[in-house]
Structure 1
Amino acid sequence: MNYLIVGLGNIGREYADTRHNIGFMVADELANQAGSTWNTLKHAFYTEYKLKGRQVFVIKPTTYMNLSGKALNYWMQELKVPIQNVLVIVDDLAIPFGSLRIKPKGSAAGHNGLKSIEASLGGQHYARLRFGIGDNYPKGRQVDYVLGPFDKDEEKDLPAHIEHAVKMVHSFVTIGIELTMTNLNTK
């Protein structure tokens, strides 16, 4: 069985450790733990590894956030991964920092990466792992907030939350989304 894990983010050093790049950070940790290396291929940084007899493909789109769907669509076709085996890792303003929730479908909720994916897949029926970044910003400063770095307190807790996200991805691949939601979603 093939799985495609898509960590959303923006390429470029200026975005490296920003809230909007949490998808890239989780993807990096997946590769790190598997001992796999990244290659720059069409529309994405790409790596793959085996997990309990399953083939796991991981991409970080190089298209920038608002064209993430183009990369996802290309790699789904290229690797022949069915939509139910795709998981998108995304930052989410609507849930508190460090809250992790996996869902089988849902709206884009204003997220440009998800809007792009929805447009290219023609719907909202794909799994996503929502990584809470909170909404602790003054009115009108949303862009600065998502494109800004985590604060000092958040940085201390970030490795543990990324580790939990990795556990959720591995659970999604090995036992499926329903049990992962039951066992591992956090408040």
Structure 2
Amino acid sequence: MQLIVGLGNPGATYQHTRHNVGFMIADAMAERTRLRLSASSAAPSKRLAWTSWFKRQDLAESGQGTYQGHAFTLIKPLTFMNRSGEAVAHYVQALNLDTQNILVIFDDISLPVGTVRLRKKGGAGGHNGVQSIIDHLGTAEFPRLRFGVGNEFERGQQVDYVLSSFAIEEQEAVDTAITQATDAVLTVIREGLDMAMNQYNRRG
């Protein structure tokens, strides 16, 4: 079982912002795998006890699926970005997972717009959602997919920048990169992180 985590903020206000590319990739992945994400309680599945405790409404939109025979759980935390660790820790415990079996997808201002990078571990790099996950899991040693959103902002304007939408001239590159990132996540599920890193970190 893999736990795939797309980071973002819930609500229409944040839907198309740079800070929500984790949600965008999660949505693209759900569409590709025909997975329905829901924040409501669900009946237990045959593969895993899908209890109301496991699938708490206040923590995340989530769903279970398979891709080419490999099981995964996909979540979009609803705790808002700065408390993402609460949802991730809950699902890691519920699924009894090692941290090496999760993949966290998030925006990264240190990479050019549309750049996709997979890493086995790393620090938070100033990202509050990632820092929350580190704090709740007690380790920074978990795989992550970083999606570049650029850093074209004046000093002190970082928050406004990441909470802004992509520029029209960036959108084509972003759409292409979201498809690439989705492919990379599915490769992680099917063939493992090392294979995905070898294939996708060479691009862009």
Using structure 2 for the length normalisation, give the TM-score: 0.88
CA apart distance, 1:153 = 1.2
Structure 1 Cα separation of the partners of residues 190 and 12 of structure 2:
33
Counterpart of 1:151?
A: 167
Structure 1 Cα separation of the partners of residues 97 and 38 of structure 2:
19
Q: Does 1:132 align with 2:148?
A: yes
Give the CA RMSD over aligned residues: 1.0
CA apart distance, 1:80 = 2.3
Unaligned runs of 5+ in 1: none
Q: Which contiguous aligned blocks of 4+ residues in structure 1 show a shift greater than 6 angstroms?
A: none
User: What amino acid does structure 2 have at the position aligned with 1:123?
Assistant: T
Which stretch shows the higher mean deviation, 156-165 or 4-13?
156-165
Residue from 100, 105, 129 that aligns with 1:89: 105
CA apart distance, 1:82 = 2.2
Counterpart of 1:24?
A: 23
Which stretch shows the higher mean deviation, 81-90 or 20-29?
81-90
Structure 1 Cα separation of the partners of residues 143 and 7 of structure 2:
13
CA apart distance, 1:25 = 0.2
Give aligned-pair identity as a percent: 40
Unaligned runs of 5+ in 2: 40-54
CA apart distance, 1:175 = 1.4
CA apart distance, 1:49 = 1.3
CA apart distance, 1:157 = 2.1
User: What amino acid does structure 2 have at the position aligned with 1:172?
Assistant: V
Counterpart of 1:47?
A: 63
Q: Give the SS at the match of 1:39.
A: coil
Residue from 187, 190, 194 that aligns with 1:174: 190
> Rg bigger for which structure?
2
Q: How many residues align?
A: 186
Which stretch shows the higher mean deviation, 146-155 or 39-48?
39-48
Using structure 1 for the length normalisation, give the TM-score: 0.96
Counterpart of 1:5?
A: 4
CA apart distance, 1:123 = 1.4
Q: Contact 2:4/2:75 (CA < 8 Å) preserved in 1?
A: yes
